Amino acid sequence: MSSLAELISIDRTSPVPLYFQVAARLEQLIATGDLLPGTRLENEIALAGDLGLSRPTMRQAIQHLVDKGLLVRKRGVGTQVVHSRVRRQVELTSLHDDLVRAGRHPRTEVLSLRRGPAPEPAAAALRLRPGAEVLIVERLRLADDEPLALMRNHLPVGLCDLTVERLTGRGLYEVLRSSGIQLSVAEQSVGARRATAAEAGRLGEARGAPLLTMCRTAYDREGRPVEYGSHVYRPSLYSFELTLLAR
């Protein structure tokens, strides 16, 4: 394989900052698989010298990708490539399916599967009276054994047969489809907030770390609400993507 410096070209006449040119090229190499997860980069001094750049410029390029979750600095090891974020199109799919499509290996830990009173947002979304009994599912989703998301879902009681075994090996939407429930449309909101101590512990983040949030109500083909989900994601490993059309 060519040395990393041979794969990066610098245009010194371009108005694009040099650090950004390097970062963009490294990101491209990671996206195409030329730099695989676990690949160790040369140290900043060596890379800067090979590219004819200053060390601060090279450090800025590396830090840019560390901030995006594409590189990680490890004491005693150096700078390594990590898995890129899971980029999720805002459409009616499950996180399990998205991970499989992205070539990741999903794993689910079912933290809780129980009946309980519906909190107000879930009751309203499912068109139930406040406090009505619902099925509550709490799961930790991992990608390649790295914690990615905490998911809490509320479903009407008696909708389908949910078991820990079924939810451990499959996504919730796949279980619903196999039970004859045809999902049609969903209403969804995306936001952000700080992690609670419990969430931080489960996700391997610092308390108060920023998390992406997603709330979704899914409907079947008859327009019946069948699921209300409230999820949190690690932003260093996950992002939402939208396609916007001009009118």
How far, in Å, CA of 59 to CA of 43, rounded?
10
Q: At 122, which helix (H) or strand (E)?
A: helix 120-125
How many Å from the N-terminal Cα to the C-terminal Cα in the chain? 47
E strand map for 172-209: 183-194
For 69-114, write each residue's pLDDT tens digit.
788 887 777 888 876 555 554 445 666 666 666 666 788 999 999 9
Q: What is the pLDDT of residue 2?
A: 55
Q: What is the pLDDT of residue 1?
A: 43
Record the pTM. Answer: 0.61
Higher per-residue pLDDT: 107 or 238? 107
Taking a C-beta distance cutoff of 8 angstroms, is the pair 215, 189 a contact? yes
Q: What is the pLDDT of residue 144?
A: 84
Lowest average pLDDT, out of 18-27, 85-94, 168-177, 238-247, goes to: 85-94
Domains of the chain with bracketed CATH:
4-81 (1.10.10.10), 86-241 (3.40.1410.10)
Higher per-residue pLDDT: 28 or 124? 124
For 9-49, write each residue's pLDDT tens digit.
888 888 888 998 898 888 888 877 788 888 888 888 888 99
